[in-house]
Structure 1
Amino acid sequence: MLTFIGLGLFDENDVSVKGLERIRRADHVFLECYTSVLTGTTIERMEEFFGKEVKTLGRDDVEGHPEDFLGLAKDSDVAFLTAGDPMVSTTHIDLRIRAAGMGVRTEIIHGASIVSAVCGLTGLQNYRFGKSCSLPFPYGKWAPKTPIEVIEHNMAENLHTLVYLDIQPDRYMRVPEAVALLEEMAAERGLSVPVYVGVARAGSAEPMVAAGTAGDLATVDFGGPLHILVVPADLHHMEREYLETFAGL
């Protein structure tokens, strides 16, 4: 049995009771560490809380060569842990398909997701979000234009855009960096983005939410990771009031 278990948003305490019970009775526990991370905890704290050894998996372990831990799940109980909700990531959808192809039974225990948490923290209505996108750090002169293309399409449809910011082993993208990158791309396309909404440390006791123009957010200290960005469409009056009340718009 392979059980996908979402750990929630910030630290080891965010896991559901159902998820915790399944982890504690698993024969093997693996934590996927590249699509997202829990920045409010450590592996050592998780192991103490779960009462289990936690083995970490990188990108190649999951996308390139998952056969080792999938093979274990044929004859034993394997817990596959992810930050947030496991099935938000297409990587994990692909992994579940691979497991099925190997004859491995699977189950999902969902966790709190940034997708819904952003709505609660910003007041932006969930049914008004269009396609999301990821914004990577530029690599030399290479910088993909897909993010601004997605934003432009969503704005034309009057839909909000959730922008996932790059996470690398030695750094993470901050909201002001992301806004600067998008502003450069937008200028090249003659696109104007009137408002951005930045969120940091969703799920923690002290999340940070700030809304405003690119110039406004350039001066905001969002603090530690993780950061995520929203490019809103035209704001409903209730969305605007929420952002004015809780995000300084």
Structure 2
Amino acid sequence: MFYLIGLGLGDAKDITVKGLEIVKKCDRVYLEAYTSILTIGKENLEEFYGRKLLVADRELVENNADIILENADKEDIAFLVVGDPFGATTHTDLVLRLQQQKIKFQVIHNASIINAVGCCGLQLYSFGEIVSIPLWTETWQPDSFYDKILGNYKRNLHTLCLLDIKVKEPTLDSIVKKTKFYMPPKFMSVSEAADQLLQILEKKQSLSDQELTLTHSSLVVGLARIGANDQEICICSLSKMRKIDLGLPLHCLVIPGNSLHPLESEFLLQYAVDDKELQLLKH
């Protein structure tokens, strides 16, 4: 049997009782380590679970999944995912492989940022399409995600922006030379995401005279380490978010719809950075 087990968002104890019981009995246990991270390390998980974990990086999961699935028809294998197993399309692909190979599997769900984002006070049923914001480089600066944010905004829907992480990413030189050298881990912050959005706004303003519904003064919500004891939430203008430091990863950014429900505004007041945000939320 193959088990896909969600670990939740905080620490080792966020795994469900059912999930922990399965982990303890499995022949092999993999820890998926590239679509997201926990606020604690692999060693802390091993200590709590009482067993060794095999790290499953991007290369193993996407290019060598057969290694993970080996003998899954005869052994019990667990695949641990931060958040919920279906929070990333990669894991959907894994399930399709299991079905094709007629391997029995079971999914153990858990909390993910997709539902935990409600802790900021914005109502979950008012969220639109989720957006991923990639880390830009000097030569690669895609901005198609902005159109999705704007589409949600115009329909008065909130946008959850998942911010890029780079874990065990090969360097350009290593790809060319077919060697294995990796870039240092990199986790996008809310300030970096805000900066990229502001650059897109400035570019689009220079290309068109049309009125933009998102501006430098639009309110945005920054969230960090949701589910951990030191989680941080703040709300301020997009331009001010460019200078906000919420500390260690993981971060995400929410672009609220163009009109908030009174309960949403009231809840968000506690996270306002200064009086200017307080006044905007009260109107």
| TM-score between both structures, scaled by the size of structure 2 | 0.84
User: Contact (CA 8 Å) 1:209, 1:247: kept in 2 or not?
Assistant: no
Which of 245, 248, 268 lines up with 1:221 in the alignment?
245
Q: Are 1:178 and 2:203 counterparts?
A: no
Structure 2 CA distance for aligned equivalents of residues 195 and 221 of structure 1: 17
Within 5 Å, which residues of 2 pair with 1:1-249?
A: 1-38=1-38, 40-120=39-119, 122-169=120-167, 170-190=185-205, 191=212, 192-193=214-215, 194-233=218-257, 234-248=259-273, 249=277
Structure 1: which 4+ aligned runs deviate by more than 6 Å?
A: none
Deviation at 1:247, TM superposition (A): 4.4
Letter in 2 for 1:58: D
Deviation at 1:153, TM superposition (A): 0.9
| TM-score between both structures, scaled by the size of structure 1 | 0.95
SS of match in other structure, 2:192: helix
1:168-226, Cα deviation, whole Å (9 max, x unpaired):
12110010110010111123234324111000010111210001102322332201111
Deviation at 1:131, TM superposition (A): 0.6
Deviation at 1:75, TM superposition (A): 1.0
Letter in 2 for 1:90: T
Number of aligned positions between the proteins: 247
User: Contact (CA 8 Å) 2:194, 2:239: kept in 1 or not?
Assistant: no
Note the residue ranges of structure 1 that are not aligned, 5 or more in a row: none
RMSD across aligned positions (CA): 1.3
User: Contact (CA 8 Å) 2:85, 2:91: kept in 1 or not?
Assistant: yes
Structure 2 CA distance for aligned equivalents of residues 129 and 186 of structure 1: 22
Deviation at 1:18, TM superposition (A): 0.9
1:207-246, Cα deviation, whole Å (9 max, x unpaired):
1000110232233220111101101102111111111124
Structure 2 CA distance for aligned equivalents of residues 142 and 186 of structure 1: 17
Identity %: 39
Structure 2 CA distance for aligned equivalents of residues 197 and 92 of structure 1: 28
